[in-house]
Chains A and B, each alone.
Chain A
Amino acid sequence: MKPKNQRLVLLSAALLAVLVAVLLAMWGLRDRASYFFTPADIAAGKASEGQPMRLGGMVQQGSITHDPDGVTVRFVVTDGKATTPVSFRGIVPDLFREGTGAVAEGRLERGTFVADTILAKHDERYMPPELGNLAAEHKVGKTLKK
């Protein structure tokens, strides 16, 4: 191959790589990104059943109950406007308690949010990202703490 052609081939290969990466990413992101919903969104019917998503809000006071199997916990998440029941099988994270913020990853099954993971407030300086926004917009954090 002549040096000039070689450079042309290499340049096209590099551009092709960029194109392939972008196309693959677009294809992958179409149905694999999980969107964030609040109980109000779910009440408004924005979330469809079975699709992976994140649910965020405050754990309602007095709502945490334990199933007899000892490892399933049920609670209600609220954003001040609506509530969503959540069930979770696993060890709840450190400092998961009523009246604090939590984000759950999972899916909706017949109106109940079945969580695979729960991310709770990690320490006093950490706020789940989506909730930081929520608290700022709706002052939910403050009203619920009172």
Chain B
Amino acid sequence: MIAEVGLAALWLAAGLAAFQSLLMILALRSDVEVAKPMRVVAMLQGVLTLTAFAMLVIVFARSDMSVALVVANSNSAKPFIYKIAGAWGNHEGSMLMWVTILAVSGAAVAWFSRRTSERTLLAALGSQAMLALGFYAFLLIASNPFARLFPAPADGQGLNPLLQDPGLAFHPPTLYLGYVGLSVAFSLAVGALLTGEVDSRLARAMRPWVLAAWVLLTLGITAGSYWAYYELGWGGYWFWDPVENASLMPWLAATALLHSINVLAARGALKAWTMMLAVIAFSMSMVGTFLVRSGILTSVHAFAIDPERGTFLLALLAIYVGAAFVLFALRGATLKEGAPFELVSRETGLVINNLILSVILGIVFLGTLHPLFVEAVTGEKLSVGAPYFNAVAGPLALVLAVLVGVGPLLSWRRERRPVLAQLKIAALLGVAALAITIILARDIAILPRLGFGVAAFLATASILPLVGRNPFRAPLATWGMVFAHLGVAVALAGMAANSAFTSERLDVARPGETLKVGPWLIQLEDVTPTAGKNWTAVEAQLRASRGGGPIILKPQTRYFADPVMETNEAAIDTFWNGQLYTVIGKADPSGGWQLRLWWKPFVTLIWAGGVLIALGGALALVGRLWRLRQRRGASAEWRKERYA
């Protein structure tokens, strides 16, 4: 019954999306008064998909084994929280979550948005509905999450144990909110291109949505990186895996958009440019969804085994991206370019930021898709990994990080002051950091060495916008910028420290023996069996010390029965100056155990930086919303006085 309610809600939502698309055409063609019904329909559609999603969660929570999706991805012995999370830990469920966020964003725009012109808003709601319509069709035709199974089996096949982790409960929803939140920017851009009202008013309306999506995307990527770090037991934080790249590409585009939208909001310039980025950002979200969900990454042939889904998603992608680009080509040229600016100005700084981010995006995009192109054309199989991405995108990212320190000091329109003079101290510190690494650590690679220098420079330079003024009277958005740019410096320092100073030890130890890694002496005390709700494990007890009192770490290898699988549970201890990371491997015939130990100085700065960047975005968001509120209040009062 619950599954049927969910399915019915989904069909109704699809019907409303179709209706909403028709209303949009009406709204654009004539002066028919459709504004009110349009908003209501958009909100209803959001409520209906939310209902469908809630039904799926209930079905999973109850372990209803008559639903095919539950059987394939859940098991009644699973801990409750993973039963819930299992609802989106699979293809159909995650696509339903995707559509739910799309529809709820549309509803939120209908509810909150008052700043855009009515016509642009209606066109944007229509665009959002058309986006949703395609994905409803995909769910209902090719990926029905509520399909029943008859006869119902006694129990389910379980969830991939790697996914049985608190990270799963929060990581995909956060990432998806970011991914799909960008659809609002896409729809607003499409709407504004249709009505021709691309101006600073639109930019101010679009900015909070972009900020919110970008904050969540940043958090999602940071959390995903940490999840891979501790759950896979490989000690790495980024693998340039295509699935990771699929989340990085929208982030890069959204970061560019976030900066150019400020130019549009403040100066009315970069109109076509900003609209293009808004279209590209969500297109990258759709490309990412296609890459992950079509199975094409696992293999071009897996795509052929399940052609319906892959072809369906590819068709949707082609239609939406193609239509948006055609619209852009038709309307982009008719946009009047806004206020002019000189060569040395904040605007130029932001254009350079956008160009470098776009080049990095292009490099990641081409590297990720290259194996698909090659296999489709020549049949040859290959993979593109860290060596390519680090070598090609890494230096560009460093150049960008240097410029991040300079850009915020420039003033709008034209800069006549000697800006570089303000950067003396920062540059001095950067060079000092570089010199220290050359003296103290002779044999580290060039990229991490430069990374230290750039991080020291940027950490100092990023604070400068608050220097020389009362920092408490600076707008929240400025604080947000400072935090985010500081976060970049912090993350960069963490990456450089990790690749320059990590010590690794892989060896066999018998109980009682001691291994040395970095400053640590680690003794294997014992290896014992242990068990959890749906797994058994062997657990090592390690006593680690470096002068002070010893600490105990307990890495495990877990064995799951449903489905059969082993996972490594690394034991990690965090200190102010780094992390000790321990993994237990296989038993040795001589009675010893393989141990893999890492001492990773300052590795935590990577994720701390990610969180700082997101925090900066959140501060800016609060600041912008506050200002919008104040303005609205002020204009309402003004109107009241005038018409009283």
Contacts and interface: CB of A to CB of B under 8 A. Distances in A.
Interface centre among B383, B506, B508, B567 (most CB of A within 10 A): B383
Nearest to A90: B506
Nearest to A129: B299
B585 A34 contact: no
A133 interface: yes
B564 A129 contact: no
Contact of B392 (A28, A95, A132): A28
A62 interface: no
B337 A4 contact: yes
Contacts of B338: 3
Contacts of B415: none
Contacts of A90: 506, 596
Interface string A18-46: 10111011011100111110000000000
Given A92-B586, A136-B301, A34 B563 contact: no
Given A6-B340, A133-B299, A29 B384 contact: yes
A82 interface: no
A64 to B, nearest CB: 11
Interface centre among B338, B359, B585 (most CB of A within 10 A): B359
B256 to A, nearest CB: 10
A105 B299 CA distance: 17
A94 B566 contact: yes
A34 B385 CA distance: 8
Contact of B302 (A14, A17, A22, A132): A132
B363 interface: yes
Given A13-B351, A91-B596, A33 B383 contact: yes
Contacts of B343: 1
Contact of B337 (A7, A18, A33, A129): A7
A66 interface: yes
B506 A91 contact: yes
A130 B508 contact: no
A25 B362 CA distance: 8
A17 B358 contact: yes
A27 B594 CA distance: 41
Nearest to B583: A91
Contact of A25 (B380, B392, B592, B596): B392
A35 B384 CA distance: 9
B564 A124 contact: yes
B565 A28 contact: no
Contacts of B388: 28-29, 32-33
A71 B594 contact: yes
Contact of A35 (B382, B392, B565): B382
A91 B337 contact: no
A18 B361 CA distance: 10
Contacts of B564: 95, 123-124
A2 interface: yes
B227 interface: no
Interface centre among B371, B381, B508 (most CB of A within 10 A): B381
A7 to B, nearest CB: 5
A17 B359 contact: yes
A21 B563 contact: no
Interface in A59-87: 66, 69-71
A107 interface: no
A56 B583 CA distance: 26
A66 B589 CA distance: 9
B382 A70 contact: no
A29 B301 contact: no
A52 B386 CA distance: 12
A125 interface: yes
Nearest to A2: B340
Interface centre among A17, A22, A34, A94 (most CB of B within 10 A): A94
B336 interface: yes
Contacts of B301: 129, 132-133, 136
Interface centre among A21, A36, A66, A136 (most CB of B within 10 A): A21
B362 A18 contact: yes
B89 interface: no
Contacts of B299: 129-130, 132-133
B585 A52 contact: no
A6 B337 contact: yes
B565 A133 contact: no
B270 interface: yes
Nearest to A95: B566
A138 to B, nearest CB: 13
Nearest to A21: B362
B526 interface: no
B382 A33 contact: yes
B362 A33 contact: no
Contacts of B149: none
Contacts of B21: none
Across chains A and B, which 4 residue pairs bring their CB atoms closest together, nearest first?
A21-B362, A70-B508, A91-B585, A94-B566
26 contacts: A1-B343, A6-B340, A10-B351, A14-B358, A21-B360, A21-B366, A22-B366, A28-B391, A33-B371, A34-B382, A36-B383, A52-B387, A54-B381, A54-B382, A69-B507, A69-B508, A71-B506, A90-B506, A90-B596, A91-B583, A94-B565, A123-B564, A124-B563, A125-B563, A127-B298, A133-B381
Interface of B: 160, 162, 269-270, 272-273, 276, 297-299, 301-302, 336-338, 340-343, 351, 355, 358-363, 366-367, 370-371, 374, 380-385, 387-388, 391-392, 506-508, 563-568, 583, 585-586, 588-590, 592, 594, 596
Given A25-B366, A90-B506, 6 more contacts: A17-B358, A18-B358, A69-B508, A105-B385, A127-B298, A132-B299
